[in-house]
């Protein structure tokens, strides 16, 4: 198969890329990477020495594409599927990219900060950093809730790359800083995401690994 995706089923950024692939109906070969296994880790580092996933390998075009947003952009350009996740209109596309960055940087990253702190040894926790992360999540929830008062999906009427980013970000963030109380529009939006077939499939595939999340 031309497209190979290196991933782990628990990874939020891998979820984002997988949603896009399933939305578009693009065929690919998944390669599950276990960074805790020396052989799997070593093989992956030969592909992408940075050691972060997801990574897309396109054999047909001899291209290596890391980073979830860039993978989605690449697929939209070279393998357009049944769903257009990035609008053709430049202004609409910019809004989608902005919201993609919003959910990655202001929901996903602070969530990861809180989770990462839980994994630190005793005596090495970052209480100030965690407090800042929680504050950022509260701000982000309020902004998203206000936007979603008049929107079906993150950027409007259509499901886009922004929703691919929002789904895993909100899924994991809700486990460390719940958002349903006081954010009815965000909660309703998240329920729509959970019912989306592409994301429901991602969560089914992640189910055997979810017990590993320190949330």
Q: Is 68 in the same domain as 94?
A: no
Residues 169 and 106: beta-carbon distance below 8 Å: no
d(C-alpha 159, C-alpha 213), whole Å? 27
Residue that is last in its domain, among 54, 78, 102: 78
- Whether 156 maps to a domain, the answer reads yes
| Structural domain containing residue 144 | 90-196
Confidence of residue 214 (pLDDT cuts 50, 70, 90): confident
d(C-alpha 23, C-alpha 190), whole Å? 17
Q: Is 107 in the same domain as 176?
A: yes
Structural domain count of the chain: 2
Q: How much is the pLDDT for 142?
A: 98
- Whether 85 maps to a domain, the answer reads no
Separation in Å, CA 116 to CA 110, 124, 132, 167: 10, 11, 14, 20
- Whether 103 maps to a domain, the answer reads yes
Q: What is the CATH number of the domain that holds 98?
A: 1.20.1050.10
- Whether 48 maps to a domain, the answer reads yes
Confidence of residue 215 (pLDDT cuts 50, 70, 90): low
Q: How much is the pLDDT for 212?
A: 87
- Whether 207 maps to a domain, the answer reads no
Q: What is the CATH number of the domain that holds 68?
A: 3.40.30.10
- Whether 185 maps to a domain, the answer reads yes
3-state DSSP percent of the chain in helix, strand and coil, to 5: 60, 10, 30
- Convert the pLDDT of each residue in 74-88 to its tens digit: 999 999 988 899 999
- Convert the pLDDT of each residue in 93-105 to its tens digit: 999 999 999 999 9
Q: Is 155 in the same domain as 191?
A: yes
- Whether 95 maps to a domain, the answer reads yes
Residue that is last in its domain, among 55, 78, 101: 78
What's the rounded mean pLDDT across residues 132-157?
98
Q: Is 14 in the same domain as 97?
A: no
Q: Is 108 in the same domain as 40?
A: no
- Whether 145 maps to a domain, the answer reads yes
């Amino acid at each position: 198969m031309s497209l190979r995706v290196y991933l782990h089923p628990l990874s939020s950024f891998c979820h984002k890329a997988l949603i896009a692939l399933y939305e578009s109906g693009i065929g690919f070969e998944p390669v599950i990477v276990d960074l805790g296994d020396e052989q799997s880790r070593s093989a992956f580092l030969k592909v992408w020495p940075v050691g972060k996933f997801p990574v897309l390998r396109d054999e047909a075009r001899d291209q290596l594409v890391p980073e979830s947003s860039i993978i989605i952009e690449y697929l939209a350009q070279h393998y357009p599927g049944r769903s257009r996740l990035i609008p053709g209109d430049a202004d609409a596309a910019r809004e989608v990219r902005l919201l993609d960055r919003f959910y990655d940087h202001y929901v996903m990253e602070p969530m990861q900060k809180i989770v990462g702190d839980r994994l630190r040894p005793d005596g090495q926790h970052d209480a100030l950093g965690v407090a800042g992360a929680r504050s950022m999540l509260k701000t982000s929830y309020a902004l998203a809730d206000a936007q979603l008062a008049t929107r079906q999906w993150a950027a409007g009427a259509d499901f886009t790359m922004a929703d691919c980013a929002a789904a895993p970000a909100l899924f994991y963030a809700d486990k460390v800083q719940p958002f349903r109380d006081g954010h009815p529009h965000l909660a309703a939006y998240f329920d729509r995401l959970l019912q989306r077939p592409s994301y429901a499939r991602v969560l089914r595939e992640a189910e055997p690994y979810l017990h590993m999340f320190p949330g």
